Structure 1
């Protein structure tokens, strides 16, 4: 893992595999972005590529500084990152605190197809993963934690496959309805009201109660490490799929395995955008979402019954591929500490 520091702005990029043809990852901007978190995100992306048998590496960048005096930070970052993009050393996507517009000057030199809605493709891979884990989504119940982080897209994706979303949590709390929540109405309300929209959909409980929702599937996405061992101890779902990288901790994985809960690998459940990046220009959006769901589902089918669980099974699969083109495997697997 290499840290490349910028000279014109307080920023850095963690690059996992120095000899990869291209390295891809998100750029986050906040008052202080820790290098450790960026390294974890880079590793998760490396495993995502490896699980899909692509000889690319993961990366993740951080821009330190928000508010007065740092308004030009995104443009300065983009200007200095241009050479990295031109060589494939770092191909960025917007994360927290950044927008697609911030990275627009870099897109012309980016060899990927970035036209597709990445949130929709991520949701498709989450839905495809859950469907493979549970056997079918039709008639299943799903709970969604971290609705602010792509939850509307995930909700629509699972409902589109016949499931019901019966519980949702935001930073403002949790709401549940055993008959199913209206996901289109929730998406609209979230757009208008933000996290507090759940007040409009029933009695609100503390957000952490989502962990114990009595559903078939559970998704987590609010922040890195949100699904820790304490939350995992309350999980009643049959399968857990994170809808953002590095959300599940290593201790949570151990707790879920002891409870016979299928803990799915985030580097598969969130890898839908890879399908879009590799697709030919002009591929219809519906075709891309179907391909993203199918690709994730195929990997989960392969590792679901692994004796060490699907997450470690997927790690072994990714590492086997990495071993075909890397002299030495990168140290450390993609799990939040």
Structure 2
């Protein structure tokens, strides 16, 4: 079973098709000409052609096609973008919030902004978020955008204090064993690839933090790495060992980076996120690790291994650049240092 409807995506009317998250169905859908996946809308979509309209039994008189642009909504989104920019939010945050608001307003494309109420937010959560089986974290992004927009740019009927957030799943961070980390970091012979993955683990970096490093951020005399304008626009430092410094010196002599510590094919061009993800994928293949490891797993593993080595949680919080100690305490649930000392009653049977 599937459900199809018109959507407006990047200024064009497209046909969104909602169906079960099944590998075979996705493979079949991808073979359709013009089929694309929208990471922001979380849906597969197709060009708005007569053949596809007939195939998915859609009428061209659909409201979204007849009135694809709500000028008041467009202006509101532009005002929100400018407000976020003036507040110096990061580019990624601005993109996330504006895309989230766009989805909410698109859902109510025929409704006046001034008439939107808290009941409309609840209806949206049920009819869009839950019906399409979207995650609570994605719902939380939408809530953040709605609360910020209606609390600043659009002060109208919606009472932001009454907008509820989804209940968070209590998931544990994914952690690799030290042996698995070593296998991943030693998989590449290319020194740039080895240096990038090693530095993420050695200093507990986020992907963006690694790619935003410049050669001047390395202070070998003090043995620290300066991480500029990380999440929340906060600077922090992380200790960097002589072992990783030796690797980075060898890398520097080979590649001689200028503006960014890790540059792309062109001098002065930042290494891309997609290329970095491919570097990890190749390392996993070479290390014969079949787990769905992401770059963030290395950061989680860094924190967990520090804890198992006896590092105080307060220091780990500072090293990770975390605001709250609660988010750092979760690593106590995945550390095996104390758990291994617990004897199961099964052993006494």
TM-score (norm 1): 0.32
RCO higher in structure (CA 8 A, sep ≥6)? 1
TM-score (norm 2): 0.31
- Higher Cα radius of gyration: 2
More strand by share: 1
More helix by share: 2
